[in-house]
Amino acid sequence: MTHPVLELDGVVREYPGSPPVRALDGVNLAVLHGEWAAIVGPSGSGKSTLLNLMGGLDQPTSGAVRIDGQDVGRLDDEQLSGLRGRALGFVFQSFHLLRNLTTLDNVATGLLYRGVQEAERRERAAAVLARVGLGHRLGHRPAQLSGGESQRVAIARALVREPALVLADEPTGNLDSHTCAEIMQLFTELHAEGATLVLITHDEDIARAAPRRVHLRDGRIIESRQAA
């Protein structure tokens, strides 16, 4: 039976102020195993706050966030760090690659704190880089890569741990339209292979690639629907 990988139950997130700023206001959301959802909304809609909660990087003011069945509010810092390392893969707009490391080693670092021996780390990194079309770039450093190649490395680093959920934050924001299309095709292929994906974007055209679109405005989900 398909089960939720991510659940938000009545989530509110307020920031101190006079009056307090309510960035999220009673969000209910479930993402099932194998699902691909795009969360789309304009600047100020609460996307970044929602991403931080979904990634276990912040705690809700009220309500519950469950990642792979674990209530993040019941975990201490060490347990939460372990959950992020085991269950989540992150892809960011700015790639966040280590410039002094090769492509292979940038991806292998994703397994550094998992107790995986170096030879296996490198073997698994090479396999996932081949999967994203970069098997010929293993020895290159970030400065030698195009923007699209850099984003593929970032995606490979997220995938190498075989996470329950991949969170992608504006992953095409720094790419030209042709490269953007290539990256979205890669996400489509990964989803077809069974990956569970949540993509955060302000771009309706990007969101259309996902089978499910969740519209966020003023901290509330105003619509959640499957593509026709």
Residue 113 has pLDDT above 90, yes or no: no
Residue 191 has pLDDT above 80, yes or no: yes
Q: What pLDDT is stored for residue 1 in this prediction?
A: 53
Q: Which of 44, 54, 5 is nearest to 219 (CA)?
A: 44
What's the mean pLDDT in 89-105?
93
What's the mean pLDDT in 95-104?
94
Specify the higher pLDDT residue, 93 or 9.
9
Residue 72 has pLDDT above 90, yes or no: yes
CA distances to 6, 116, 196, 199, 217 from 28, in Å: 11, 36, 18, 17, 14
What letter does residue 16 receive in the DSSP assignment?
-
Specify the higher pLDDT residue, 209 or 114.
209
Residue 115 binned pLDDT confidence (cut-offs 50, 70, 90): confident
Residue 6 has pLDDT above 60, yes or no: yes
Q: Which of 26, 35, 23 is nearest to 8 (CA)?
A: 26
Residue 187 binned pLDDT confidence (cut-offs 50, 70, 90): very high
Q: What mean pLDDT is reported for the chain?
A: 93
Residue 228 has pLDDT above 80, yes or no: no
Residue 176 has pLDDT above 70, yes or no: yes
Residue 27 and residue 145 in contact, taking contact as beta carbons nearer than 8 Å = no
**CA atoms of 42 and 48, how far apart (whole Å):** 11
Q: Please state the pTM of the whole predicted model.
A: 0.92
Q: How far is CA 25 from the centre of its chain?
A: 22
CA distances to 20, 49, 67, 140 from 8, in Å: 21, 13, 9, 40
Q: What pLDDT is stored for residue 114 in this prediction?
A: 80
Residue with tokens 């195993």: 33
What's the mean pLDDT in 78-95?
91
Residue 159 has pLDDT above 60, yes or no: yes
CA distances to 88, 137, 141, 150, 186 from 112, in Å: 15, 21, 19, 20, 25
Prior bond of 19 cis (ω within 30°): yes
- For the chain, list the domains and their CATH numbers: 4-226 (3.40.50.300)
Q: Which residues pair with 217 in a beta bridge?
A: 220
pLDDT above 90: percentage of residues in the chain: 85
CA neighbours closer than 13 Å in the CB half-sphere of residue 4: 15
